[in-house]
Every structure is written in structure tokens, then in C-alpha cells.
A and B are shown apart, each in its own frame.
Chain A
Amino acid sequence: QKEVEQDPGPLSVPEGAIVSLNCTYSNSAFQYFMWYRQYSRKGPELLMYTYSSGNKEDGRFTAQVDKSSKYISLFIRDSQPSDSATYLCAMIAYSSASKIIFGSGTRLSIRP
């Protein structure tokens, strides 16, 4: 069993829809949770970072962490074609960036 599971998609939704991207994990020691966005043939860009259960909002993006269920989500409101990318979840168990674990990525396409 992988430490981090992420639905690879592809996920296709119409412009303006609310998108929900999800990851589950097995290691209860994970404390820090990130979401990265990666456009085709580019490096991943950090979108959201959180270290506690609950919600964190940044513009159209909301990151949700449920440590009791070992489940994290990224919600995108009013989705735009420019949101079309691969989204990677990532998490760290220890206070060391060298121990970051990435999900496999979900490919998202927003239809105009």
C-alpha cells in the first residue's frame, strides 16, 4: 500500500464548476500538507500549505485536512481554463523537507 494515494484522473469539468481533488494517506505521523500545481513540462508550483486539521482558504482555493480520517482535499471554486494542470498533494511526517512524500498527481482539465 502506498503511503499517499491520489486519484490520477483525468478529471474534466466545465468552466465555473467547483472542483474537488483528494488524497488519502496511511501514515498518521504526517503533520504538514501541501498542494502543488504543475503545468505541462513545467516545475511544480506550491499552491497551499497547512499543518493542522480544518480549512485554509486562499482566493478560489481551499485546502481541507481531516487527520482523523487521513484525508486531504483541495477545492477550486469558479474553475477557469487556466486551472487546467496536474495537481499533486504532498505531505511530511517529520520536520524535514527531505522526507516529503508526493501523491501521483491528478490531471485536471477545465472545459471552456
Chain B
Amino acid sequence: SAVISQKPSRDICQRGTSLTIQCQVDSQVTMMFWYRQQPGQSLTLIATANQGSEATYESGFVIDKFPISRPNLTFSTLTVSNMSPEDSSIYLCSVAPPDSGNTIYFGEGSWLTVV
């Protein structure tokens, strides 16, 4: 398993602003993922964050809206840019540790409300 810390845990943001979410893992991991979970919905993968290369985005998500950094094997950030009320969601960082057997572990999430 892995211990994953996310900051902020929650925030209220003004429309049109941007917010960066940080994700810190207690061990080195190759694969880190960013998910979005809108109210009452399941998890949607935004992108896979690769160390040393650009993130890989899923259909419907673009780098301009959700820029991601992955400077090392224990840290990543996700920025939600030019926010609108539709961006109000839980944003979750997750990792697949080397000994995870193809499963993933999640951080506590960052609950963003855009007003």
C-alpha cells in the first residue's frame, strides 16, 4: 500500500480563478493518477502523470484546463484552471505502488466548490 497526502483537503474558489492541488506519496511510484468525482457520480480518470514526461490525458480532458506536473517519483500537482461551477468536485490523487498487484490507492481527496 501507500500513504498519500493531498492538499488542500477542501477549498471554496471564485469563478475564473485557478487552484493547484498537491499530492505527496510516502514511497516512490511510477504511476500516479488524477481522478475527478462529481457529486453523486463515480470516478473519472483525468490523466496519468508520468515522471519526466508529459501527462497522458483521457478523452474530454485537456492540458490547458488541467495542467499537471510530476517533478519526481513521490510528488505531483494538478491545477484546475479558469474554474467554473461545473468544476465543483472531489479531485483525487491515486497511485499504483510496485507491489500493488495492479490495483490503486487513493488519497483523501480535495473537495473544491466553485462559486
Contacts and interface: CB of A to CB of B under 8 A. Distances in A.
A32 B102 CA distance: 8
Interface in B15-51: 31, 33, 41-43, 45, 48
Contact of B43 (A41, A49, A88): A88
Interface in A36-74: 36, 41-46, 49, 51
Interface in A1-58: 32, 34, 36, 41-46, 49, 51
Interface residues on chain B, size class:
20 to 34
Contact of A88 (B6, B42, B101): B42
Interface stretch (B63-71, B72-80, B105-113): B105-113
Contacts of B4: 43
Given A41-B90, A42-B108, A43-B109, A98 B43 contact: no
A97 B33 contact: yes
A5 to B, nearest CB: 11
B42 A104 contact: yes
Nearest to B111: A41
A34 B103 CA distance: 8
A34 to B, nearest CB: 5
Interface of A: 32, 34, 36, 41-46, 49, 51, 88, 90, 92, 95-98, 100, 102-105
27 contacts: A32-B101, A41-B111, A42-B109, A43-B94, A43-B108, A43-B109, A44-B43, A45-B106, A46-B103, A51-B102, A88-B42, A88-B43, A92-B102, A97-B31, A97-B33, A97-B100, A97-B103, A97-B104, A98-B33, A98-B48, A98-B56, A98-B96, A100-B103, A102-B42, A102-B43, A104-B41, A105-B42
Interface of B: 1, 4, 6, 10, 31, 33, 41-43, 45, 48, 56, 90, 92, 94, 96, 100-109, 111
Given A97-B102, A105-B42, 4 more contacts: A32-B101, A32-B103, A95-B102, A104-B42
